[in-house]
Amino acid sequence: MSAARGSGVIVLLDYMAKTTGAFENLLRVNRDGEPIWVAPLPDKRASDCYVEVDDEGGSLVAHSWNGIRAELNWEDGTVVWSAFTK
């Protein structure tokens, strides 16, 4: 999945690419494919990864394997807020 916004593209790497441990698989890259930022996982204590990301009315919202919904900052990838949804 990728979505253009500003100068760069949001990329969600296949969460099945890593089978154990945490996998920070959501990133923003520039036109050359170089990372601008890698989004941290909302719960650093758990083995987790992002499984879905959407632009919801201008907000970048991602869902993790462990049931956490997080809004991310478009500019630097930081988690603005998160909530457990399962």
Distances (CA, A) of 7 to 3, 10, 33, 60, 64: 11, 10, 12, 15, 25
Query: Which has more confidence, 86 or 70?
Result: 70
CB neighbours of 57 closer than 8 A, spacing ≥ 6?
none
Q: Which listed CATH number (3.40.605.10, 2.40.10.480, 1.10.730.10, 2.40.40.20) goes with 2-84?
A: 2.40.10.480
Q: Could you tell me the pTM of the whole model? A: 0.85
Domain borders along the chain are: 2-84
Cα(32)–Cα(73) distance, rounded to whole angstroms? 21
* pLDDT confidence tier of residue 2, bands split at 50, 70 and 90: very low
CB 55 within 8 A of CB 66: no
Q: Is it the case that residue 23 has pLDDT exceeding 70? A: yes
